[in-house]
Amino acid sequence: MLHIINKSPLSNGALDSCLRVAESGEILLIEDAVYAATKGSALEGKMKEAMDKLKVLVLLPDLEARGLADRIIEGVATVDYGGFVDLVASNKNCQSWL
């Protein structure tokens, strides 16, 4: 299953809810959710822990738009828009967390 999160983890509980429920699959962070995948963020430890059971990816154009491309946590993969489409197409189920 692909879990898609677009809200900032600092102002919304979508990421926490997803991490509490998701047992496997992939998490794609887009828009302001990309802040969760940066080194030194308040969520760095939580994201590293999540990477033990989930593949964590971020949308690279959203990281770049926020000037964060050089601060990504080691082990977090990046995808471009084509990669986003491939993720959606390759997963039987997709869940957008609001």
Was domain 2-97 assigned CATH 3.40.309.10?
no
How close are the terminal C-alpha atoms of the chain, in Å? 16
- In this structure, how many other beta carbons lie within 10 angstroms of the beta carbon of residue 29? 26
pLDDT of amino acid 28: 98
pLDDT in tens, 44-79: 999 999 999 999 999 999 999 999 999 999 999 999
Q: pLDDT of 9-34, one tens digit each? A: 989 999 999 999 999 999 999 999 99
Sequence-separated (6 or more) residues with CB below 8 Å from residue 77:
55, 56, 57, 58
